[in-house]
Amino acid sequence: MVKISLKTLKNKAKLEVEKAATSAELNEVFNKYLGKKGEITLVLSSLDKLARSKRAKIGKEANEIKRFLQDKINEKKFSFFSGASSKSREEWLDITAPGKKPVIGHLHPLTLVRRKVEDIFQSMGFSIFECPDMETEWYNFDALNIPKDHPARDQWDTFYLKNGLLLRTHTTPGDPRYMGENNPPLRIIIPGNVFRHEATDASHEFQLFQFDGLMVDKKISVANLKAIVGEFFRRFFGENTKFRLRPDYFPFTEPSFDISISCIFCRGKGCPVCKRSGWLEVAGAGMVHPNVLKNSGFIPKEWQGWAFGFGLERLAMLKYKINDIRLFRSGDLRFLQQF
């Protein structure tokens, strides 16, 4: 009698576990059979009322059923927990379907590049100095040893304003401005908008973002310029970036250099971007001209230093392989949202 009822109990319980569709139902099944007053529990707790001969056998059987049910219930619970019911093992998730991205905006590529430049130079002890977009003739030209009425001035096509100022053609006016108010030794970079009165095309723009750099101390040399500039370009474009200095001319530096880096597209082998030369012109530099030091209130014999300047658009175009400089100020979201 007991034996039959135990077997029946087992089958009944098994069926109910399988039928349970939610974890609440499963709990009910558990309580019904294995809870404090559950049917199996009752069998086990009433063992001592049985004859000694039957006790061991029934006890063993009941314990087996208990273990069996516990396993079944746990397995089912796990399947609820992990979301896959034992019935639908074939269910799957297409993990290649695109994720749902949170809506995050985009910083302008020039901001991204600008931050990178600022981080690199700040880590080498350079402070960031800013000065006005509207500039005087003095700081933009005269203080920088760019003579009036001289073709040298024609290198900077200038927007003049009716209030007597002009739009700075470079961020170099920051050099005499900073030197006029700070004592050497000094190390600065000067970011900002610059303006050139020229027609635009894929590689020319009338408003640009430029960085100048300046370091002045007792014994600052071309060798030091090479070290800092080399470090910058390696950190910016990658460890394998090479660079070279060639003679150039700027009225505010003497000697003056053109700085080119090894072409990042062809690694210097020659390609259309570098016009087969293997080199890309990216910056101008030189040793600060004694007249500029003088105009800034320094005694040229006591101090020497170097300065450099480069356009941020040029660096961004190389870094992101952008082929038209006008995109930066186009406000075109199809472009901006790629960054």
CB of 238: closest distance to another protein in angstroms? 17
CB of 267: closest distance to another protein in angstroms? 19
Structure tokens at 277: 């030369």
DSSP structure class, residue 278: S
Structure tokens at 58: 């029934």
CB of 219: closest distance to another protein in angstroms? 5
**In this complex, which beta carbon is closest to another protein, that of residue 319 or of residue 329?**
329
CB of 103: closest distance to another protein in angstroms? 4
Please state, in angstroms and rounded to a whole number, the distance separating the CA atoms of residues 153 and 338: 39
Please state, in angstroms and rounded to a whole number, the distance separating the CA atoms of residues 186 and 125: 9
Cis peptide upstream of residue 109 (ω within 30 degrees of 0):
no
CB of 179: closest distance to another protein in angstroms? 15
**In this complex, which beta carbon is closest to another protein, that of residue 15 or of residue 227?**
227
CB of 47: closest distance to another protein in angstroms? 47
Torsion region of 199: left, alpha or beta (phi above 0 gives left; psi -120 to 50 gives alpha)? beta
Structure tokens at 25: 């139902």
Beta-carbon contacts of residue 175 (< 8 Å; ≥ 6 apart): 144, 190, 212, 214, 252, 288, 292, 296, 307
3-state secondary structure of 34: helix
For residue 334, the Cα-to-chain-centroid distance in whole angstroms is: 19
Please state, in angstroms and rounded to a whole number, the distance separating the CA atoms of residues 288 and 252: 6
**In this complex, which beta carbon is closest to another protein, that of residue 11 or of residue 183?**
183
**In this complex, which beta carbon is closest to another protein, that of residue 60 or of residue 197?**
197
**In this complex, which beta carbon is closest to another protein, that of residue 32 or of residue 242?**
242
**In this complex, which beta carbon is closest to another protein, that of residue 98 or of residue 125?**
125
